[in-house]
Amino acid sequence: MRGLYAIVDVAICAARGLDPIEVARAIAAAHPAALQLRAKDVAPREALALLRSIGPACRTAGVPLFANDRADLAALGGCDGVHVGQDDIAVSLVRRIAPGLRVGISTHTLDEVRRALVDRPDYIAFGPVFATTSKTDAEPVVGLEQLAAAVRLAEPTPVVAIGGIDPERAHAVAAVAPAAAMISALLPADASVADLTVVTERARTLQLALSGRDAAGRAVLFA
């Protein structure tokens, strides 16, 4: 996994008057490394309908689709994987009930990284790297040095940096971690219901930056 791990948050889309299905399709068109649907305050039936609506665009674009928290909905929705938190279903249990799913897990400390690695997840999310406004219950900021330590500790398991990452910080994060998750940064101020091409362009730019390339597709040499 290398580049942009895009998270489409249903609540954030609603606050902006945006359809999460259309936002997901716009992001998928930019071919990010992965796309996750976060639908924490949505009824299971509605979340499942959203996943099934988003799935075709992700498959066409070759973008792995992840559900948040719910392995059952991920399996029923035809997702490639599920992302779980520290207080959600264990990675080992997901392996038993849905062996075809890829599984990622959130971590916030190096000790949590060590414990997570025991179950051999497909990737580990680590953060918040910077202060974030996307979560009201965010853990303490870890910073780039701790992120680098997590990447070394987890190798060869990919680490997805998360928390407060924006276009200005993308290259700095890419110099440390193979992938980075973004939520609010994917929705620039001028994104509108009528025209989501700005979201596609933002996601495309971020995918290039986070995979170590500039706008022309040239490799960026990190110090």
Q: Is residue 217 part of a domain?
A: no
pTM across the whole model? 0.92
pLDDT above 60 for 218: no
Task: Give ∠ CA 131-135-136 in degrees, rounded to 5.
Answer: 95
Structure confidence at residue 189 (pLDDT): 80
Summarised one tens digit per residue, pLDDT across range 150-179 is: 999 999 999 999 999 998 999 999 999 999
Q: Is residue 91 part of a domain?
A: yes
Q: Is residue 215 part of a domain?
A: no
Q: Is residue 111 part of a domain?
A: yes
Q: Is residue 222 part of a domain?
A: no
Between strands 3-9 and 34-38, the pairing is parallel
Structure confidence at residue 188 (pLDDT): 80
Q: Is 140 helix (H, G, I), strand (E, B) or coil?
A: coil
pLDDT above 80 for 2: yes
User: Distances from the Cα of 191 to the Cαs of 10, 18, 167, in angstroms?
Assistant: 15, 9, 16
Q: Is residue 84 part of a domain?
A: yes
Q: What is the CA radius of gyration of the chain?
A: 16
Structure confidence at residue 77 (pLDDT): 97
Q: What type of residue sits at position 75?
A: A
- CATH number, residue 154: 3.20.20.70
CA trace torsion 211, 213, 216, 218 (10° rounding): -130
Q: Is residue 220 part of a domain?
A: no
For residue 213, give the DSSP letter.
B
Structure confidence at residue 127 (pLDDT): 96
Contact criterion met (CB below 8 Å) for 125 and 89: no
Q: Is residue 178 part of a domain?
A: yes
Summarised one tens digit per residue, pLDDT across range 97-136 is: 999 999 999 999 999 999 999 999 999 999 999 987 766 6
The residue among 137 and 101 whose pLDDT is bigger is 101
Q: Which tokens is 171 given? A: 């290259």
First to last CA, the chain: 22
Q: How many domains does the chain have?
A: 1
Structure confidence at residue 108 (pLDDT): 97
Structure confidence at residue 220 (pLDDT): 46
Structural domain boundaries, residue 131:
3-210
